[in-house]
Structure 1
């Protein structure tokens, strides 16, 4: 964030808290934007300045912040039972009720739930579950994982190893490399020259087939994929891609793991995007974020009865030796149940479909701005990609961090959007109105124009060429 403050809290933060994804040089100079309260989609800093949070926290504040009934539900559960041991044969009512509800909402025979603390641990659990399942089947060689470049799956060791975002795979960390393989990013905007969307889809499917042939289907345990890639650039794959890859997974006995940490619970207008948007029946679904709308940390790995039937039979002494102290935390599960109730009661899924169409339409108007190369996404999951040349799609230098330039200027005008190098990403609360959409698009457009003029003044960018057909 760009605003520099000097309160005691700001100083304490700067001195003691190493944030996720801390960029050391800029943090040392600027510190953080110190927020103090929130209501709905509005945030306030220590100076009383108000911002519209078009990022939705981190893809997660789906019902908006500051809801009294969420606070009451959480407080009531704390009074009733703040914690319960989740291991082996101990349980609690909110966790059991939430598991039943998730099974009702999930597609097909995805009826089993394993709780964790967030999206990364949900992915870690899926990764371990794949290994466990293949071992129980007597297929110990079937452990290789396929994923995509540009995909983001979390920051634990396994989750970041599965992640395919090059910017997050920094050299100071180590990763699993021998059994995890990354295929091409399914980004139509960056398709090879001369390929239309259908040809690009065919190319990606052929690449998948070739990788299976190269490794051997008997060596591949699972394919991990976000239905719509999130932090990798809000990438909606070519039409038919998700379903065709899923069919190949079925043909080759490869588990399909749908990472719906971002897309589930209304982000694109459905409880889960895999089946409703793309016709895919996953074997495993990971979720978090919108599960509680960020009110409390909670992740879940949902998986099919088919998998459970394999792992739960056979060796009488078998047990799943994995879990967390806070698995199925009763307060977090109570918050999730109330969150789901609110989404249902207020028809927020339908709202996202309606207002999301308007959001897409209004954001497309930014294509006329000189820095804007692409506007993409689905409903309440959108992205603007900024480029140096719209004809060649050439990017600006990474070190310029154009997304941050733009987000800083948007912040000065009361709007928070997420910068990811060349991108500005938006995932607002599902309560966003058409009036809010207009505010977001107008302020973002003004920030892009402001940035463009600043770059020209500093001689960092040339005058744009007219976009050719």
Structure 2
């Protein structure tokens, strides 16, 4: 097939996520046509390290025939069932396996089509539950600036990335946003400990100002992923959940990115941050990206006072045609088996120190403002430091230049404005980690050497 035709068809017919209207029909996107392990291959046959693992999701790496075979076998046996009217053993088994790995009493798994629909499901459930409990005013959701929770109507409403909120309508009355939790933005004379106190106070003050009787939940990512891999100060989540439960506010942990190994554990909430959420949301690594799927996981405690005689005959009328899709469930089960058989959680914990060391080693480069991360998540934030007239347009251009140089050298990044984000497949080796950061460092130096040209 003539790739010119493909490129024309891409511009004429394939409307991509976050499509820029200024360049609609004029894009020159790289075609990714094959993959294996931590590598993807473009249309010219060039192999590149997949720095973001697709979109934070290809945990076990590409080319896993075991997952492909499980999906094919399931599709031949049963490609679909209606979750509204029937059930299926593969989906049921997958729900059980997810619940076994979720912390505490998070035993009720509601499968969705992805992370956004999982967030929508969680928020609808919280409202539904409060209606049944006779608390119809308790509906406000507290979130954070720079948080990202999805692009469906409710999920977008609680997402705090301000540049994503300019042109699309949202139910603005639903959400209340707290200030940025990134320690990088603290006042010059402010310690991290004082900044932490301030961020926890932000939450409690918001609950008190809005009225606890009006606040339903606080939704938080353990690490704010799409906001730029923002790692809150140590102890932040533990103190926040204590504030929430003090005021009868539910704590929703959005683990769409961090669950299924990204931080070296099935779920990060309990094992990394020592919290027991009321609801966990997951997606992405749930099937290692081999098939679309997400889930909202609810605690037994949330169910106990709205079921049985307390259910009042109500129906949680939220659902999706593809909830618990058997082919996706088969992919998820096969991915879990690979993670356990190959010890990938232990592997992540073993290579993460090198990943973080190499990441922070870029801090001394002239363009680098900050290098931060946790586990196999990292962000290198860049800026023309001496440019007092730096604009958002300049930041976009800088990020695009670094991204282009990286691709030339054999690395795919996740460019978010002026932030170079990485979250590679969990199977990445130490040699590949070193290669990845060697390329990124070389690209940043190259861009710095030609700035202003």
Question: Which TM-score applies when normalising by structure 2?
Answer: 0.97
Q: C-alpha offsets along residues 313-361 of structure 1, whole Å, 9 cap, x if unaligned?
A: 3245211111000000011011101101110111101111111110101
In the alignment, the residues of structure 2 paired with residue 216 and residue 165 of structure 1 have an alpha-carbon distance, to the nearest angstrom, of 25
- 1: CA distance, partners of 2:352 / 2:57: 16
Q: CA deviation at 1:274?
A: 0.7
2:347 corresponds in structure 1 to 351
Aligned: 1:271 with 2:263: no
Alignment: residue pair count? 449
State the secondary structure of the residue aligned to 1:222.
Answer: strand
Query: Which residue, out of 116, 125, 136, partners 1:129?
Result: 125
Cα deviation per residue 1:186-239 (whole Å; 9 max; x = unaligned)? 101111231111000001111111111111111100000001100001011011
Residues 133-212 of structure 1 aligned to structure 2 (within 5 Å): 133-170=129-166, 172-212=167-207
Which residue in the other structure is 1:397 paired with?
391
In 1: Cα distance, 2:83 partner to 2:216 partner: 28
Alpha-carbon contact 1:60-1:290 (below 8 Å) kept: yes
Shift of 1:11: 1.5
Provide the residue aligned with 2:11 in structure 1: 14
Residue 28 of structure 1: how far off its partner (Å)? 3.7
**Residue in 2 aligned with 1:293?**
288
Determine the C-alpha separation between the residues in 2 that align with 1:301 and 1:273.
15
Deviations 1:22-53 (A, max 9, x none): 12334543321111111111111111111111
CA-to-aligned-CA distance 1:377-425 (integer Å, 9 cap, x gap): 10211000112328xx979421121222111110011100111012000
Report what 2:424 is aligned to: 428
User: Is the contact made by 1:387 and 1:394 (CA closer than 8 Å) also made in structure 2?
Assistant: no
Matched, 1:213 2:208: yes
> Could you say which residue in structure 2 is the equivalent of 1:108?
104
> 1:236 aligns to what?
231
Measure the CA separation in 1 of the matches of 2:202 and 2:264: 31
Q: Is 1:73 matched up with 2:70?
A: yes
Q: Distance in 2 between matches of 1:323 and 1:281?
A: 26
Contact 1:289 1:299 in 2 (8 A): yes
The answer to whether 1:382 aligns with 2:375 is no
CA contact (8 A) 2:119 2:281 kept: yes
Give the match's secondary structure for 1:278. coil
Provide TM-score, normalisation by structure 1: 0.93
- Answer yes or no: is the 8 Å Cα contact 1:226–1:258 preserved in 2: yes
Three-state SS of the structure 1 residue aligned to 2:96 is helix
- 245, 253, 262: which one aligns with 1:258: 253
Q: Quick one: distance in 1 between partners of 2:68 and 2:412?
A: 25
Offset at residue 454 of structure 1 (A): 2.1
Give the root-mean-square deviation of aligned CA atoms.
Answer: 1.5
> 2:157·2:174 contact (CA, 8 Å) conserved in 1?
no
Aligned partner of 1:322 in structure 2 is: 318
Distance 1:362 1:317 in 2: 57
Contact 1:387–1:395, Cα closer than 8 Å, also in 2: no
Q: Deviations over 1:92-140 (max 9, x none)?
A: 0111101111111000110001010000000000110110111111111
CA distance in 2 between partners of 1:337 and 1:8 (Å): 38
- Name the counterpart of 2:41: 44
Gap regions ≥5 residues in structure 2 = none
Alignment partners' CA distance in 2, 1:147 and 1:156: 16
TM superposition shift of 1:253: 0.5
